[in-house]
Amino acid sequence: MAETSVKKIILVVDDMAVSLTTIRTILQHEYDVRLAKSAALALEMLKQFTADLILLDIEMPEISGLEFVGLLKKSPELKNIPVIFVTSHANPQFIDQAMAFEAEGYIVKPFIPDALIKRVQSVLGEGE
């Protein structure tokens, strides 16, 4: 008998529509992918549901990805949600800064879809 399970929720936060749709296309068959075009919208969305993982751009208007993670870490309800940065910044300074926020990973755009899937599965404790 097939086991039915609820799909894990991944919240993708990026101000670029192409990034949102690309990531959704890659992950939507295995996960419940929800999209936010700003960190402020993502914070509002997290009042409605709990994400199992957040894929987050760093450079966004108003609230940056780093500021967003800082806000998450201050919230008892949200501080344990794992975050993977997905950004075009390959500069080691950005990577060090992001990892100082205890991110679960850092993926540079453009990325290989399989690499994204493997990292997501690893963080969620899935895969081989």
Instruction: Give residue-wise pLDDT tens across range 49-81.
Output: 999 999 999 999 999 999 999 999 999 999 999
3-state secondary structure the chain: CCCCCCCCEEEEECCCHHHHHHHHHHHCCCCEEEEECCHHHHHHHCCCCCCCEEEECCCCCCCCHHHHHHHHHHCCCCCCCCEEEEECCCCHHHHHHHHCCCCCEEEECCCCHHHHHHHHHHHCCCCC
Enumerate domains of the chain plus CATH numbers. 9-123 (3.40.50.2300)
Instruction: Give residue-wise pLDDT tens across range 106-123.
Output: 999 999 999 999 999 999
Residue 1 has pLDDT above 50, yes or no: no
**Contact (Cβ atoms closer than 8 angstroms) between residue 86 and residue 19:** yes
pLDDT for residue 18? 96
pLDDT for residue 83? 96
Q: Mean pLDDT in the chain?
A: 92
